[in-house]
Structure 1
Amino acid sequence: MTHVSNKHGGALLAIAAAVMWGVSGACAQFLFQQRHVGIDWLVTVRLLVAGALLLLYAGSRHGRAVLLPWRAPASAASMIIFGIVGMLGVQYTYFAAIRHSNAATGTMLQYLGPACIAVWLALVRRTLPSRAECTAILLAFIGTLLLVTHGEIGQLVITPAALCWGLASAVALAFYTLQPVRLLQDNDAATVAGWGMLIGGLACAMFSQPWRLSGDWDAGAALAAGFVILFGTLLAFLFYLSAVGRIGPQKTSLLACAEPLAATVAALAWLGIPFGVADALGSACILATLFVLSGQSAKA
């Protein structure tokens, strides 16, 4: 019974994390487009606050082990690269894609990341992509084409800036996934993520002024920002980690597919974004790449 309850609990935690991530995308769209909050301000505050809280959590569980990434020059350099290029890169490009389009489109474009990883690994290994990888790459291409044209091939229905930021977000997600492998082998995941967030937030703070509020603030803006920082960052990550511990990374990552679905539903119901048949088909193609690549990794 305990094993079954752990499985069910892990699945619920993974879905809850994905839903919180998705809803936080809609909150970000609301802040950018209706309250004119700057991307720099939200990214900086989100990373600094969530990173500090995550390190406090990791420190309460692992004590001085939270300082392990800084005890060797190689791991310290890797940690800094992860924080600036990985964590800050994926956060900023994702929010910029939402700012220039909407939560649904930005989230879906970011989910091209696994296809980018498949291409990169094929290049690094100097091998042709497998049949599953070719299928995933084709599905990703078709899905993106449908999403950015609404099925009217040759007519771009999102701005070039939105497309560029969305594709950059997918590349950043690929880097964010591949680069910290060694760090995660030697350190607790909460420690790596906490330092990454704090470093990324400090780097972004060099070009922004987080102590000065950006945009038009009211109770709605404060609630949306609070959700992004606490639920969409800190709690979502902790729930996701707990799910990985209970049901494993493969099942957890598949259940995380609820994120773009949650972002789409929240943006449709709350912000009234346009979302037609072509968008739904494109989104389905992009999500299908995750199942194809996950099935391949299960056989490996």
Structure 2
Amino acid sequence: MQNQAGKGIAMVLIAASLWGVSGTFSQFLFQQQHISVEWLMSVRMLVSGIALVAISGLRKNADTLAPWKDKRDALRLLSFGILGMLTVQYTYFAAIKHSNAATATILQFTSPIMIAVYLAVKFRKPLRPLNLVAIAVAMLGTFLLVTHGKPGELAISGTALAWGIASAASLAMYTIQPESLLKRYHETTIIGWGLLIGGIGISLVRAPWHTDGLWDAHTYAYTAFVVLFGTLIPFYAYLTGVKHIGGQKASLLTSAEPLSAAVLSVSWLGVPFLVMDYIGAGLIISTVFLLAMEREVVAEPPGV
């Protein structure tokens, strides 16, 4: 039993770390190699979506095609692929392009606060004291991260802040939206189809065979990493880890994602991270632990 739990923890930590590294590599591709967000999204989502759907089909008692046999579930799956998966991927990558991977990932971590507020409104329940503390901590952390403690001055562009907040809101939607589907079908099936649907959708904007930007050995290597080690492998590793330790523990361990993104952004790309940035990041990440203490945290699907 302990071996299974240890395996689950290791798998989730690997997945979260790879997502963080992938975000930093994506920043390099966007800002230095001038690869478009839409092109990288289409390749990333199509390849990973096809692979996960294929993996789903190879499972014993596979339910790969089952969602399409129910009209309501088919519509839910289409909605998740476009409004959930595609939207959260695009807003996150756009936030990276206009700021950096560390800032974009940390801002996205304010999504649990949005989920807590949404659930309170939906079920007409007042926010608990711990929820209110978490909201205050998140707001203070965000304030320090985007202003460095100086009211009226933004440390990042208004565009980057807008995409970061949009990314958090999209992640909240992405977390809540497929809840009914995940209760009825295997996670690999839903996530695989969601990626594939989103990939097809963004391909209408930028087809994967219409490349752009500067192509050299670094571009090929980092693109391959984002597709394989930043999408396919961590998604599968995360799903495997959740089976062993559960969604609540897994959601806490995903805090390794902004940490790995911050370390690599600062050490490799030379992104300036000041004391206020670290304090703000720490406060935002801590809200995940505060909300987990309520024991009513929504177990979110794999990260981006």
- Deviations along 1:189-238, one digit per CA (max 9) or x if unpaired, are 01000000000011111111221112101111111111111111111011
Select the residue among 144, 147, 156 that pairs with 1:146: 144
Cα distance between partner residues in 2 of 1:298 and 1:186: 20
TM-score between both structures, scaled by the size of structure 2: 0.96
Partner of 1:284: 282
| Segment of structure 1 superposing worse, 78-87 or 238-247 | 238-247
Alignment correspondent of 1:90: 88
Match of 1:112 among 110, 113, 135: 110
Secondary structure of 2:63 counterpart: helix
In 2, Cα distance between the equivalents of 1:221 and 1:294?
39
Map of 1:134 onto structure 2: 132
The CA deviation string for residues 55-81 of structure 1, in whole angstroms up to 9 with x for no partner, is 111111146520011011100000000
Matched, 1:173 2:171: yes
Aligned to 2:59, what secondary structure does the other structure show? helix
User: Which consecutive unaligned segments of at least 5 residues does structure 1 have?
Assistant: none
Identity of aligned residues (%): 47
User: Take 1:299 and 1:270, find their aligned partners in 2: how far apart are those partners?
Assistant: 34
Residues 1:299 and 1:215: Cα distance change in structure 2 (over 3 Å): closer
Query: One-letter code of the match for 2:164?
Result: G
Question: Counterpart of 2:205?
Answer: 207
Deviation at 1:163, TM superposition (A): 0.5
- In angstroms, what is the RMSD of aligned CA positions? 1.3
Is the 8 Å Cα contact of residues 248 and 297 (structure 2) preserved in structure 1? no
Alpha-carbon distance between aligned partners in 2 of 1:126 and 1:214, rounded to the nearest angstrom: 49
Q: How many residues align?
A: 298
Contact 2:141–2:282 (CA under 8 A) maintained in structure 1: yes
92-101 vs 209-218, which moves further: 209-218
**2:5 counterpart letter in structure 1:** K
Of stretches 219-228 and 25-34 in structure 1, the one that deviates more from structure 2 is 219-228
**Cα distance in 2, alignment partners of residues 60 and 132 from structure 1:** 44
Following TM superposition, the consecutive aligned residue runs of length 4 or more in structure 1 with deviations greater than 4 angstroms are: none
Secondary structure at 1:209 match in 2: coil
Q: How does 1:184-199 map to 2 (within 5 A)?
A: 184-199=182-197
Is the CA contact (8 Å cut-off) linking 2:130 and 2:290 kept in structure 1?
yes
SS in structure 1 of the partner of residue 83 of structure 2? helix
Quick one: distance in 2 between partners of 1:198 and 1:119? 30
* 2:241 alignment partner, one of 214, 236, 243: 243
Instruction: Select the structure that is richer in helix.
Output: 1
Q: For residue 28 of structure 2, what is the aligned residue in structure 1?
A: 30
